[in-house]
Amino acid sequence: MNIKEIKELAKKFTPEQLENCITQAIENQGKNECYIDDDVLEVVNTLAKAQTVRELMEQGYSEIEAIRELARRIRKVQGVSNSNLIF
């Protein structure tokens, strides 16, 4: 996960614009107006993460809080609990 790219996309585009870019990427083998990468899956992944961060920011989260919440949600889906993390 490239946090820098996700942050830049979240700042630049609205959730709706990011959703449109996700649709474009799926329909056009990765090509879209928001983010370019060789791998379609990487494009969709990055856009979806940016969309989540932007939505959280619009709900009042700070940028860093939104990134942390995204990471927490990813760990939850992957089945990794906070107690399994080593810092």
Q: Is residue 87 part of a domain?
A: no
Q: Is residue 82 part of a domain?
A: no
Domain that holds residue 71: 3-77
Q: Is residue 27 part of a domain?
A: yes
Q: Is residue 85 part of a domain?
A: no
- Indicate the average pLDDT of the chain: 91
**Cβ-proximal residues to 9 (8 Å cutoff; 6+ apart), any chain:** 18, 34, 35, 46, 47, 50, 54
Q: Is residue 86 part of a domain?
A: no
Q: Is residue 70 part of a domain?
A: yes
pLDDT digits (tens, 9 = 90+) for 13-52: 999 999 999 999 999 999 999 999 889 999 999 999 999 9
* Tokens found for residue 54: 């932007």
Q: Output the CA torsion sign for 77, 59, 64, 16.
A: positive
* Tokens found for residue 62: 């700070």
pTM for the full model? 0.84
In a 3-state reduction of DSSP, which class is residue 38?
A: coil
